[in-house]
């Protein structure tokens, strides 16, 4: 597994915890990521950025995700799907990293396949693809 994928998985776990526990304290969440600092290597700062950036931009991200989620509200989505969508939206729109958008979407789909339900990857792909089209 690549270090960037591991960084995304670590960030997803942190964002999942933040959402489940209603704890948006980026400091405590990045301290969780610090447990994986050795394994993440150079990608540790990428993981930190995904966590803090997503939480700092959460109202804007939720507004964007809501506008593309036809017949779904943010609250109705599973915590895992919501966390993946938030993180991918942050990376596509707000991140200073220059990760190609297709790679971001592919990584989000892979996370959904690994951590969520059978249909989640299709839902996430469709929503992020719409966001990508509008972003241009």
Residue 108 backbone dihedrals phi, psi, to 5 degrees: -65, -40
Condensed to tens digits (0 to 9), the pLDDT of residues 21-53 reads 776 655 555 566 666 777 777 888 898 899 999
**pLDDT of amino acid 100:** 93
| Count of CB atoms situated within 10 Å of the CB of 22 | 6
Is the whole model's pTM more than 0.95, yes or no? no
**pLDDT of amino acid 23:** 62
- Residue found under tokens 């990508």: 132
Homologous superfamily of 3-135: NusB-like (1.10.940.10)
Query: Which of the residues in the chain have pLDDT under 50?
Result: none
């Amino acid at each position: 597994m690549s270090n960037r994928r591991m960084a995304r998985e670590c960030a997803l776990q942190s964002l999942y915890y933040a959402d489940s526990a209603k704890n948006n304290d980026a400091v405590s969440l990045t301290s969780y990521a610090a447990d994986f600092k050795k394994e993440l290597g150079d990608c540790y700062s990428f993981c930190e950025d995904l966590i803090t950036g997503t939480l700092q931009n959460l109202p804007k991200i939720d507004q964007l995700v809501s506008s593309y989620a036809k017949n779904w509200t943010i609250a109705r989505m599973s915590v895992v799907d919501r966390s993946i969508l938030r993180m991918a939206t942050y990376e596509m729109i707000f991140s200073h990293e220059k990760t190609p958008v297709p790679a971001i979407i592919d990584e989000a789909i892979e996370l959904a396949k690994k951590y969520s339900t059978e249909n989640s990857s299709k839902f996430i792909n469709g929503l992020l693809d719409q966001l990508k089209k509008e972003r241009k």
